[in-house]
Amino acid sequence: MTTAAPEKPRKGLFGIREKPYVHPYVGGVLLGIVLFLAFLITRNGLGASGGLNRLVASVEDIIVPGHIDQTPYLLKLAGGLKNPLDDWSVPVIIGAFAGGAIAGLLNGRSKFEVNKGPHISNRTRLVMAFVGGVFFAYGARMARGCTSGQALSGGATLSAGSWALMMMIFAGAYGVAYFVRKMWN
User: Do residues 48 and 96 make contact, with C-beta atoms less than 8 angstroms apart?
Assistant: yes
| CB contact burial 91-101 (16+ within 10 A = b; e otherwise) | ebbeeeeeeee
Residues 72 and 104 reside in one and the same domain:
yes
Question: To 10 degrees, the CA torsion angle through 165, 168, 172, 175?
Answer: 170
Chain-centre distance of CA 150, in angstroms? 12
Residue 41 domain boundaries: 10-113
Is residue 1 a part of any domain in this protein? no
Q: Please state the domain count of the chain.
A: 2
Please determine, for residue 26, whether its predicted confidence score (pLDDT) is greater than 90. Answer: yes
Residues 19 and 104 reside in one and the same domain:
yes
Please determine, for residue 47, whether its predicted confidence score (pLDDT) is greater than 60. Answer: yes
CA distance 181 to 178: 5
Residues 102 and 148 reside in one and the same domain:
no
Share of the chain above pLDDT 70, in %: 93
Secondary structure of the chain: what % helix, strand, coil (to 5)? Answer: 65, 0, 30
Q: Which amino acid is at 67?
A: H
**Domain-ending residue, one of 113, 146, 173:** 113
Q: Which residues contact 52 (CB under 8 A, 6 or more apart)?
A: 93, 137
Is residue 4 a part of any domain in this protein? no
- The distance in angstroms from the start CA to the end CA of the chain is 28
Confidence of residue 1 (pLDDT cuts 50, 70, 90): low
Confidence of residue 3 (pLDDT cuts 50, 70, 90): low
Is residue 72 a part of any domain in this protein? yes
Residues 25 and 100 reside in one and the same domain:
yes
pLDDT attached to residue 7? 66
Interval 89-117 mean pLDDT: 88
Is residue 181 a part of any domain in this protein? yes
Residue of higher predicted confidence among 130 and 140: 130
**Domain-ending residue, one of 79, 113, 147:** 113
- Highest-pLDDT range among 7-11, 26-30, 52-56: 26-30
Question: Is 0.75 topped by the overall pTM?
Answer: no
Average pLDDT, the chain: 85
Confidence of residue 101 (pLDDT cuts 50, 70, 90): very high
pLDDT attached to residue 152? 87
Q: Which residues contact 7 (CB under 8 A, 6 or more apart)?
A: none
50 by Cβ neighbours in 10 Å (0-12 / 13-18 / 19+) ranks as buried
Least confident of 16-20, 87-91, 172-176: 16-20
Residues 24 and 87 reside in one and the same domain:
yes
**Domain-ending residue, one of 55, 81, 113:** 113
Residues 78 and 29 reside in one and the same domain:
yes
CA distance 138 to 56: 14
